[in-house]
Chains A and B, each alone.
Chain A
Amino acid sequence: MIRYIAQRLVMLIPVLIGISIVTFSLLRFIPGDPARVMLGEHATAEQVAEFRKRMGLDDPLPIQYIRYLGRIIRGDLGRAIRTNELVTTELAQRLPATVELTLGAMFVACLFGITAGIIAAYYHNSLFDLITMVGALIGVSMPVFWLGLILMYIFGFKLKWLPPSGRITPGIPMPTIPEVYNIHLTGPMGEKVMWLLNFLSNFYILNSLVTGNWVALVDCLKHLILPSIALGTIPMSIIARMTRSSLLEVLHQDYIRTARAKGLRERAVIFRHALKNAFLPVITVIGLELGYLLAGAILTETIFSWPGMGRLVVDRILARDYPAVQGSVLVIAVLFVFINLAVDISYAYLDPRIRYE
């Protein structure tokens, strides 16, 4: 197993280098002078020249690339042009929101997708089966942003059950973990710990749980429901289809007949014998979809004014703030690669045959 993980990690290196080349090229492929594009039409020649010098745009491309690579390895993604803030600082604020949304969507998708898939397979060819399958077909064809708007209109505006947008109601205090517990650390190590604690505080649900901020917790969960449903619909449909077809296949196996023949209770047959084997492909799908949710979040975040990374990317593209775009694209792609790696490894762990291929 360790050898397999090591192998996969080595195979990752060219992909990561490739990703860095792509994000590096983002800036260089802009038609025209990137400096002029980023500074706007009204920039003077001196400003452009100064900017080119500051960004190192006058050096040969390979040197620029190596410098870029060195910087990203040290965790320096540059500064956003508009706000002049460190791109890493912006991402550290935005990433937790996206992760929370992605996990919320995955929870919705798994809960309803797997349940519906199991029931549909068990009552194969029943009315429930038909409804689930038609529902799943419609679900995979659903434009996330449209579903989001409709949910917002029905549950946020007409019925007023849930807040239509945002991540937390303005005015509800959300102190950080160090603030609540009065943690002040100094020194190089202490600063790192403080940074980490502040970063973790941006995970609102985690933060409100750790600090016992129940009002905020309930509020955050309420805000999370609609975007999670919108984002989770497509994976939910895919998971439901996968669970159903995989379970159907397993239910026809001999060992299921054996289990039934020896008089096991039906619940034991399904949950102990059938599901265990049916879940392998489902887990792969869940992992793959988790990666795609990161990208799908771009649209969902825009609809629900969710302050995540996806919205950051779109806002910065529209503002032509390329260093910020570069940084966000890089982080999302690297996350995506590592999620896929984790899926592969968990799959190999669950199914030993894969390791020996």
Chain B
Amino acid sequence: MERRLPAQTTLFRDALRRLFRNKLAIIGMVILGLFVFCALFAPWIAPYDPIAQDVTRRREPPSREHPFGMDEVGRDLLSRVIYGARVSLYVGVASVSLAIIAGTLIGAVSGYAGGWVDNVVMRIMDIMLAFPSLLLAIAIVAILGPGLLNMLYAIAFVSIPAYARIVRASVLAAKEMDYTLAARAIGCSSSRILFRHIMPNCLTPIIVQGTLGIATAILDAAGLSFLGLGAQPPTPEWGAMLGQGRGSVFTAPHVVIFPGLAIMLSVLGFNLLGDGLRDALDPRLRM
């Protein structure tokens, strides 16, 4: 007869329970939920076309008709902020995903192979870390040329070392574990050991770093677009909106207030969620 074990608490479920007990993390999730909703349903909830201009109503202050007012060329700001969620979340998530994929591969191979491969790869990562990340991203965009995609690649590229280092450290630790030895003893191939036995152990720090990384990526992307190096007009990107509207800051402050608030809130959301995830997944790291 099969014996029933008591209701299982997986590591994952345990972490989720801790996460949902964390008030700040919940606030973060609510904020992010709002932005994700805006991003997904932008065409249905945005009251106007985000790039349609009405030059007769330039810089109009907020009104019932246009709750966030009009921008410097007469576009509805609320609609642009809503559509902006798409661009910012896309850049944040896509650049971090690219960085995680590349960083994980580099870190895993480097840590598992060891020896000169490890040495060379890690020195290259050190050199990348020798540049302030925003400066390196700016330099890369300077080479590739301004634009949304090039900015995304630049931000992804400069984030690689962070993930490579995390994964390498986890791989180095896991390589010495008994279960890795056991896997090798029963004849598992290197790639199987690496991806089935070692990599799952790196997930926790990657998830935490990734969530916090999206916050940084959104900030950096907004900064680059603000400088005119990222999203190009008329793309409704928050940083670009600030950059184009900053000339009107004294005459029509609403043009810069709302896109900036959106940047701050979305970054705050990811920071709160990231902190919450860190506390839930690895209580030892609690600050």
Contact = CB atoms under 8 A, between A and B. Distances in A.
Contact of B260 (A19, A143, A241, A336): A143
Interface in A205-248: 241, 245
B143 to A, nearest CB: 5
B256 A146 contact: yes
B124 interface: yes
Contact of A299 (B126, B227, B253): B227
Nearest to A27: B143
Interface in B110-130: 123-124, 126-127, 130
Interface stretch (B93-101, B160-168, B266-274): B266-274
Nearest to A245: B287
B35 interface: no
Contact of A336 (B123, B130, B228, B253): B130
A43 interface: no
A152 B249 contact: yes
Contacts of A137: 24, 268, 271-272
A145 B221 CA distance: 12
A280 interface: no
Contacts of B203: none
A291 B242 contact: no
B137 to A, nearest CB: 9
Interface stretch (A105-113, A182-190, A194-202, A325-333): A325-333
A271 interface: no
Contact of B127 (A22, A291, A329): A22
A294 B135 CA distance: 9
Interface stretch (A47-55, A73-81, A117-125, A313-321): A313-321
Given A18-B124, A245-B287, A299-B226, A143 B130 contact: no
Contact of A153 (B24, B144, B249): B249
Nearest to A249: B287
A142 B264 contact: yes
B127 A317 contact: no
A337 B264 contact: no
Given A18-B124, A317-B142, 17 more contacts: A14-B126, A19-B130, A31-B144, A141-B268, A145-B239, A145-B243, A150-B260, A241-B287, A295-B132, A296-B132, A298-B223, A299-B134, A299-B226, A303-B246, A317-B229, A322-B142, A336-B130
8 A-B pairs closest in CB distance:
A295-B132, A18-B127, A146-B260, A141-B268, A141-B267, A317-B142, A295-B134, A295-B135
A141 B134 contact: no
29 contacts: A15-B123, A15-B126, A15-B127, A18-B130, A22-B131, A137-B272, A141-B268, A143-B219, A143-B239, A143-B260, A145-B222, A145-B223, A146-B263, A146-B264, A149-B242, A157-B250, A291-B132, A292-B132, A295-B135, A298-B134, A299-B227, A302-B227, A303-B246, A317-B229, A318-B228, A329-B135, A332-B131, A333-B131, A337-B130
A149 B222 CA distance: 14
A294 B215 CA distance: 20
A332 B123 contact: no
B223 A143 contact: yes
B139 interface: yes
B133 interface: yes
B80 to A, nearest CB: 15
Nearest to B28: A137
B246 to A, nearest CB: 6
B127 A146 contact: no
A342 interface: no
A199 B263 CA distance: 39
B152 interface: no
A153 B239 CA distance: 18
A138 B260 CA distance: 13
Interface in B232-256: 239, 242-243, 246, 249-250, 253, 256
A325 B142 contact: yes
B156 interface: no
Contacts of A14: 123, 126-127
Contacts of A298: 134-135, 138, 223, 227
A29 interface: yes
